[in-house]
Structure 1
Amino acid sequence: MKKILGLVAVMVLAMSQVSFSAPTNTDAAVQRLVKVAKQRQAQQAKQAAKGDVVEEVVVVPVEEVAEPTGVSQDARQKIEAARAQAKERAEKAKEAAQQRKTRTKDLRAQRKNMSESKMMDVEIQRIRKRVDQINSNIEKFHKTNEMLDQMEQRLDTIQNRMN
């Protein structure tokens, strides 16, 4: 019993030392920046999981913004073309995300409505595909191994010629 109590006391002391020695960020500005960074990462991860297009908005102070006094017609056309391309890419990305969502919903519905025999067939096909993939990897390994053996033989013959 004394050993257990002694062990518990040592563990409590060790844990208090570890927690006391842990670095703390007491600076309010640092904590605010860390909080903002975590929020951005969470938003980006959330949007990436949804499949949405992630766009970051960069805030530029007013002093740094330079307004062109005279924009040529060519520059305006290029800007408009770039905006149109950006809109098209965004629309395509949204469509692709929507298609992925509908595809996954359809697959879930199909799996839910499958009979036991169909589920077994699907599982067998998945296993066969994986076995074929493993077999092809094994074949590649053997071919690579043979090539290495041939290269080693050539290296030995070259070294023998050099000596």
Structure 2
Amino acid sequence: MATVKDFGNSIRPTWCPGCGDYGIWNALKRAFAASGYEPDEIMMVTGIGCGSKMNDYMHISGLHTLHGRTLAVATGLKLANPGMKVVCVHGDGDGYGEGGNHFLHTVRRNIGLVDIIENNHVYGLTRGQYSPTSRPGFRTRTSPSGAIDAPMNPVALAIAEG
């Protein structure tokens, strides 16, 4: 049975000090080991954003996708290989903005993949666009007067989709 150490590799993360990605990275390694999976049974699909570097720092199969296409690619992988554990890691801009349509259909299909969307209310790598989950008035470099849209509620949307 694989241990937490078996899911690590020698590549050191390049996230900023104090970044929440470190906690997610460690939690995923522990969860994979506790679930009894072997590294070759897991495929991590990532999009754009800091969290999308996750599979670079783990000893598992990984695939980086285009912005917003994480769930579309993951769905194809899961349908082609139903026995593989498919895990997605991407940001709120990728999952709810550029890939919002794929989020809706992935939830509706419910094919058994895991989707981890890191929601920090901003497109972090571009340093300043507010995201679909940003609250009105949320200020960024590209929106100095604050976000004007009402935020989407991903949980309510997922429940509504079934």
TM-score band by shorter chain is under 0.3
Per the normalisation by structure 2, the TM-score is: 0.20
More strand as a share of residues: 2
Per the normalisation by structure 1, the TM-score is: 0.20
